Amino acid sequence: MKRRRAIGAELLDEGVHFRVWAPAHERVSVVIDGRALLLEREQGGYHSALIRDARAGTRYKYRLADGDYPDPASRYQPEGPHGESVVVDSTYAWRAEPPRIDDHIISEVHLGTFTREGTYAAAIEKLPLLADIGINTIEVMPVNEFAGRFGWGYDGVDLWAPTNIYGTPDDFRRFIDSAHALGLAVILDVVYNHFGPDGCYVAKFAPQFFTKKYGNEWGEAINFEEASVCEFFAENAAYWIDEFHLDGLRLDATQAINVIDAVGDITKRARSVTDRDVYLSVENEPQDVRLIKELGVDAMWNDDWHHAASVALTGFREAYYTDYYGHARELAAMARHGFLYQGQWYSWQKQNRGTPSHDVDPHRFICYLQNHDQIANSAYGLRIDRLASPRSVRALTALLLLGAHTPLLFQGQEFASSSPFLYFADHNPELAQAVAKGRREFLSQFPSISHFIPPHDERTFTDCKLDWSEREKNRDVVEFHRELIRLRATMPRTRPEVATLTQHALALRWFDPQRLLVVNWGDEPIPTSEPLLAPPVHSEGRTPSSARRGEAALSRGRADEGVRPSQWIRVWSCDGAELFTSSDADVSDRKDRDRST
Q: How far apart are CA 457 and CA 432, in angstroms?
A: 9
CA distances from 421 to 137, 427, 432, 464 (A): 21, 19, 19, 5
Q: Are strands 221-222 and 248-251 parallel, antiparallel or unpaired?
A: unpaired
Residue 39 identity:
L
Q: How far apart are CA 269 and CA 321, in angstroms?
A: 37
Sign for the pseudo-dihedral over CA of 433, 439, 442, 443: negative
Helix segments in 377-521, DSSP class H: 390-402, 429-443, 458-462, 469-473, 475-488
Residue 532 identity:
L
Please tell me which residue in 155, 283, 303, 414 is annotated as part of the active site. 283
Residue 304 identity:
D
For 394, residues 6+ apart whose C-beta sits below 8 A from its C-beta are: 480, 565, 566, 569, 582, 586, 587
Phi-psi region of 264 (alpha: psi -120 to 50; beta: other; left: phi over 0): alpha
State the DSSP code for 429: H
Helix (H) or strand (E) holding 190: strand 185-190
Q: How far apart are CA 575 and CA 538, in angstroms?
A: 8
Q: How far apart are CA 231 and CA 576, in angstroms?
A: 56
Q: Note if 283 is an active site residue.
A: yes
Q: Note if 40 is an active site residue.
A: no
Helix segments in 101-226, DSSP class H: 111-114, 120-133, 169-181, 202-205
For 35, residues 6+ apart whose C-beta sits below 8 A from its C-beta are: none
Q: How far apart are CA 577 and CA 338, in angstroms?
A: 29
Please tell me which residue in 252, 303, 323, 414 is annotated as part of the active site. 252
Q: How far apart are CA 88 and CA 76, in angstroms?
A: 7
CA-based nearest residue to 533, from 557, 563, 506: 506
Burial tier of 249 (Cβ tally within 10 Å: 0-12, 13-18, 19+): buried
Q: How far apart are CA 507 and CA 528, in angstroms?
A: 11
Rounded to 5°, the CA angle 359-362-368 comes to 135
Instruction: Print burial letters for 177-208: b (CB count within 10 Å at least 16), e (below 16).
Output: bbbbbbebbbbbbbbbbbbbbbbbbbebbbeb
CA distances from 328 to 59, 177, 282, 518, 586 (A): 59, 42, 26, 11, 23
Residue 162 identity:
P
Q: How far apart are CA 207 and CA 94, in angstroms?
A: 39
Q: How far apart are CA 428 and CA 45, in angstroms?
A: 34
Instruction: Read off φ and ψ for residue 420, nearest 5 degrees.
Output: -75, 170
Annotated catalytic residues are 252, 283
